[in-house]
Each structure stands twice: as C-alpha cells, then as structure tokens.
Amino acid sequence: MSLFSFLQKHLQKLHRRAYPVNYTCYNCQAEVFNGQIFCSDCKDLVPYNTLYCLKCGRKILQYGYCMDCRHTLPVFEKARSLFVYEGQAVQFIHAFKNGNPHFAQGFAKEALSIVRREFFDADFLTFVPMTKQAKDNRGYNQSELFARSMSEMSGISVEEIFEKKRDTPEQKNLTRSERQNNLKGVFHVKHRSICKDKTVLLLDDTLTTGATANELAKLLYGAKAKKVYLLTVASVVLQKTPSTLP
C-alpha cells in the first residue's frame, strides 16, 4: 500500500469517527439525511442553549454572567451545556437516563463543536460517577456513555478518575450548606497522579444545582489539576436571585 493510500484510508477512518452516519431521528425514528441526529420537526422542539452565562453556562437573557455567578462563582473554570433543561430537552434527558443509552452518541455529536471551540485544550475527559448499585440498577452510567462517545468523536482520551462511595438525596431541594454537607466524603479520586498539571473536561447529563460539579472540581484541583471545565447535555435555569439564595 502506498503512503498516499495509507493516509487516505486513515483520514477516512478519522472522519467516520468524528462524523458517524445516522439514518433515523434519535427521538422519533423518522428518516433523516446528512448524518443529522434529529429530524427537522424534533429539532425545532429542542431549546438549544445559545445565550449563556460565561461562567456556569446556564441560559441568560443578556451577554455576561448570570446573577448566581455574580453572587458566588463556581470552582470550575467554565461550563457549557448543549440544551436548556426545558420542554423537549427534559424528555430527551429522561429517555437517556431510563433505557435509551443510544442518546449518548447523538448528544456527543451535537456537542462536539462546543468541545472543539471551548475546550480544545483539554488533556482528557472524565465523568460524574455513580455508585456500583445505582449503575447496576440502571444498567449503565449515562454520564460515562456521554464521555466515551465524546472521546470517540473528539479523539480526546477519557479517564475514570472518580469513585462514588454512597448514594445521596437529591440536591435541588436542599439549602447551599445542606448541599455541601450532603456531598462530604461521597466522592474519591482514584488516580491522583493522572490529574497533575492537566486540563480536565468533566462531563455530565444535567447541571442542576451545580453542587456535584463543584465538589468534583475541588477534588480535581486538590489532585493538582491545572484547569477544570464542565460540559453537560443540559442545564437548569435557576430562578433564585442572589438575595434569596440560601
């Protein structure tokens, strides 16, 4: 095989990895073309996150920082999300977490441009862990599937950095101090040496209160990571103002 043929074959393989062909809509299974993941009808229903806080990545109404980040900045360097957690996006996330793991590839393909634009300097990807029991009950960790699909498409390696020792109550109904106490001792960094002087991109399905992402970012910085970024499929718009935040 000539050098030209070898390179051509290799480039075709990389192209297929980065742009996997898709034939049906991930939501309704209607026929699609040009590798789209949603048909035009479903795509119109999804609230893409186009105007977002420069820090946490949540939807905002004008360019800059959201009121929450002006009050208390998250620990991670910056975050971005593909969708606003509203309308059809809620249904997509629910399906992803409850028996439709194939959504991971579709979400990764849609979010690939965000990674290439915002997180091009990431040394590796990692993901929010689940306890063994929770993962066994669901059959998979949706955040891990999202990260591994993104790794295949972006060429950035993925590392299983964290272990979750126990399950916790939902964070969204807790005060700020309760959320912090709720997460104490829950996560453990299994491979600290991998993190030293590295820029890490953490992936999850949804940014809700941000407490979990903040806690994991603290652990990564404690393991001497240089920067920590966050990418989620969707992010919840918080309604509280700084004066009412607990």
Q: What is the SS3 assignment for 150? A: helix
Quote the tokens at residue 33: 């073309």
Q: Indicate the residue type of 107.
A: F
pLDDT digits (tens, 9 = 90+) for 11-22: 444 444 444 455
Average pLDDT value for residue range 63-74: 92
Average pLDDT estimate for 52-81: 94
Per-residue pLDDT, averaged over 30-36, amounts to 76
pLDDT of amino acid 34: 67
H or E element that contains 113:
helix 103-118
- Say yes or no to pLDDT of 9 above 50: no
With contact defined as beta carbons under 8 Å apart, do 138 and 99 qualify? Answer: no
Q: How far apart are CA 215 and CA 211, in angstroms?
A: 6
- So what's the pLDDT on residue 11? 43
CA separation for the pair 96, 166 (Å, rounded): 22
Residue range 112-141: mean pLDDT, rounded:
96
Would you call 220 helix, strand, or coil by DSSP?
helix
pTM of the predicted structure, to 2 decimals: 0.83
Write down the mean pLDDT value for the chain: 85
* Mean pLDDT for the stretch of residues 216-221: 97
Residue linked to tokens 């999804």: 46
Number of Cβ within a 10 Å radius of residue 242: 12
Q: What is the mean pLDDT of residues 72-86?
A: 96
pLDDT for 120 equals 96
**What are the structural domains of the chain?**
1-44 (no CATH), 46-235 (3.40.50.2020)
The mean per-residue pLDDT over the stretch 130-141 comes to 95
